[in-house]
Structure 1
Amino acid sequence: MRSTNPVLRNLPEKVANNGYEGGQTATLPGRAPEIDRNRPMTVDDVVTKTSITLGVIVAFAAVNFVIFLSGNVGLGSILTFVGAIGGFITTLVHAFRREFGSKTVTLIYAAFEGLFLGGFSLVVSGWFTAGGADAGLMIFQAILGTIGVFIGMLVIYRRGAIRVTPRFNRILTGLIFGVAIMALGNLLLAVFTGVSPLRDGGTMSIIFGVVCIVLAALSFLQDFDLADKLVRTGAPENAAWGVALGLAVTLVWLYTEILRLLSYFSDDR
């Protein structure tokens, strides 16, 4: 079953192609058992590696946050740009890797994305214009909203309230591609004309932001479903790093959209 998340999209095929059989290893007579470096992945592996990934993101976000607040806005802006480009390239590298799951790639992505989020959060929340207290509250609300949506979708998935079917995947994939095309068109329009109807805080921006939040939330269902399949099919423990990266991508998308939406209402006030 395919996912719209670029990191997790080909995950089931990669599991099949690598011939994972539950992580069994052979032991020669008269020799001590070898350590199984491809033991089956567990839910605990996913939780642990996702936590580590998110921890790295938060740490590097804090680093760029401090750089900005220390008055070095130029360096902070450069790191934010590098983080955005580096995070995007890293997800592409992981998506086209032959093997699924890499600790190195996942942590590199987390470092890049952390740098991006540190600067992005300050700028979008209006830290330098609205004041630190109001901006800090907005960032905190966006974090709480992201955590709340994540937990809510996990509960929905576990209870089977929304089933991840091939039809569900096709519809969600089409909608996300449509949103991506609209976002790209809006970016080009902003670059060449200075007009950004989907990000200017108007009514269309609010509607677009709500749609993106809903799609990001639904993407969690696909991520959970694919991770569940990996555990049940006996994928190796290292694959949990790929799951962690995929979940981090969706979490970052959701957080940025929630923060943007909150900033629109803040501007209205």
Structure 2
Amino acid sequence: MRSSNPVFSRRGFSRDNGYAGFNAQQQAGGPAAGTNPYATNPYATNPYATNPYAQPDVQQGTGLQAPARPGAMTIDDVVSRTAITLGTVFVTAALAWFLLPVDPANLNKSYGIAIGAALVAFVLAMVQSFKRKPAPALILAYAAFEGVFLGVISSAVTTYVAAGAVPQAVLGTMSVFAGVLIAYKMRWIRVTRRFYGFVMAAAIGFVLLMAVNMLFAVFGGGDGLGFRSGGLGILFGVIGIILGACFLALDFKQVEDGVTYGAPREESWLAAFGLTMTLVWIYLEFLRLVAIFSGDD
């Protein structure tokens, strides 16, 4: 991940804290970026305007007016697209739960379906991440396959570990989301360049460590290096949830700045995509913690 999620990596922002910069050059003839926090807004339609949203007043011939930019992203757009994406995850997860029950006599088949769905979802996520524009069909396809993966894994944990694992994981995920949102709105969390760099460095290290642990588990058997079971599993599960919370803060910053800068409405699909990826991450970490506390390796 190159930002809070891969989909945001090419869409950094340069607001009052100097966080990234939308990768856009300064507007021709505009004021210096240090004096105008919106000077690098890539969506400004008049490169000579001090206000990046201002348009020439063609009737008066002089002066500027700043009407609302048509087709700009709003919070309602982000909320609706996120609801659609998460709804797709929920529906396909429920279908996988009931139509693909975990068979004790053939666990390999069930886990094979889950792994296959996860791989397809990963490929779709990477394809979308490198596209210049969001593709709603691609994002919803990712959500559908991610839902199949979550449905099978959740069913397995519920069947073999704890009957209440899924409600606990969902409640934990919702609590983290609400807590980070409140903290962000109250400005208890300030997303700065230093914060961004720390989170990304920690995330890269975490992902690489988990990948090494998985390789040891696949080729060496057992729990690999033991980072996902026992006491170490609890520690790294908590670290994973904290990283997920940090990603949410980065996501909220991206959404806030996108609305402030008048990003195109289609960008709301990318916001929904990023938020969905983060929430799935947090849910899986909670699910693993529940499994560990319930005595599962």
Q: Normalising by structure 2, what TM-score?
A: 0.77
Q: Hey, what's the Cα distance between the residues in 2 that align with 1:70 and 1:175?
A: 35
Is 2:250 the counterpart of 1:250?
no
Residue 213 (structure 1) aligns with: 241
Is 2:43 the counterpart of 1:9?
no
Deviation string 1:166-216 (CA, Å, 9 cap, x unpaired) is 0001111100000011001001100111132012x2111111111111111
* Aligned with 1:138 (options 146, 159, 165): 165
Counterpart amino acid of residue 119 in structure 1: V
Q: Hey, what's the Cα distance between the residues in 2 that align with 1:210 and 1:98?
A: 34
Over 3 Å counting, the alpha-carbon distance change for 1:70 and 1:194 in structure 2 is closer
Shift in Å, 1:126: 4.3
For the 8 Å contact 1:61–1:116, the answer to whether it is kept is: yes
Q: Hey, what's the Cα distance between the residues in 1 that align with 2:168 and 2:214?
A: 26
* Aligned with 2:139 (options 91, 106, 118): 106
Aligned length: 248
Residue 75 (structure 2) aligns with: 43
Is 2:231 the counterpart of 1:231?
no
Q: Hey, what's the Cα distance between the residues in 1 that align with 2:238 and 2:107?
A: 31
Is 2:46 the counterpart of 1:20?
no
Is 2:202 the counterpart of 1:168?
no
Shift in Å, 1:88: 0.8
For the 8 Å contact 2:4–2:274, the answer to whether it is kept is: no
Which structure has the greater CA radius of gyration? 2
Residue 211 (structure 2) aligns with: 184
Shift in Å, 1:98: 1.7
Q: Hey, what's the Cα distance between the residues in 1 that align with 2:102 and 2:221?
A: 30
Is 2:227 the counterpart of 1:198?
yes
Q: Hey, what's the Cα distance between the residues in 2 that align with 1:104 and 1:231?
A: 23
Residue 115 (structure 1) aligns with: 148
Q: Hey, what's the Cα distance between the residues in 1 that align with 2:8 and 2:120?
A: 19
Is 2:293 the counterpart of 1:265?
yes
Q: Hey, what's the Cα distance between the residues in 1 that align with 2:86 and 2:80?
A: 10
Counterpart amino acid of residue 94 in structure 1: Q
Shift in Å, 1:56: 0.3
Is 2:99 the counterpart of 1:67?
yes
For the 8 Å contact 1:15–1:235, the answer to whether it is kept is: no
Structure 2 unaligned residues grouped into runs of 5+ = 13-20, 26-40, 46-52, 55-69
Q: Hey, what's the Cα distance between the residues in 2 that align with 1:175 and 1:228?
A: 24
Shift in Å, 1:75: 6.0
Higher helix share: 1
Residue 94 (structure 1) aligns with: 128
Shift in Å, 1:68: 2.8
Percentage of identical aligned residues = 38
Q: Hey, what's the Cα distance between the residues in 1 that align with 2:102 and 2:184?
A: 43
For the 8 Å contact 1:67–1:76, the answer to whether it is kept is: no
Q: Normalising by structure 1, what TM-score?
A: 0.85
Counterpart amino acid of residue 5 in structure 1: N
**Structure 1 residues 234-243 or 13-22, which shifts more?**
13-22
Shift in Å, 1:44: 0.3
For the 8 Å contact 2:113–2:149, the answer to whether it is kept is: yes
Q: Which has the higher contact order (CA 8 A, sep 6+)?
A: 1
Over 3 Å counting, the alpha-carbon distance change for 1:228 and 1:153 in structure 2 is same
CA RMSD of aligned residues (A): 2.6
Q: Hey, what's the Cα distance between the residues in 1 that align with 2:153 and 2:97?
A: 9
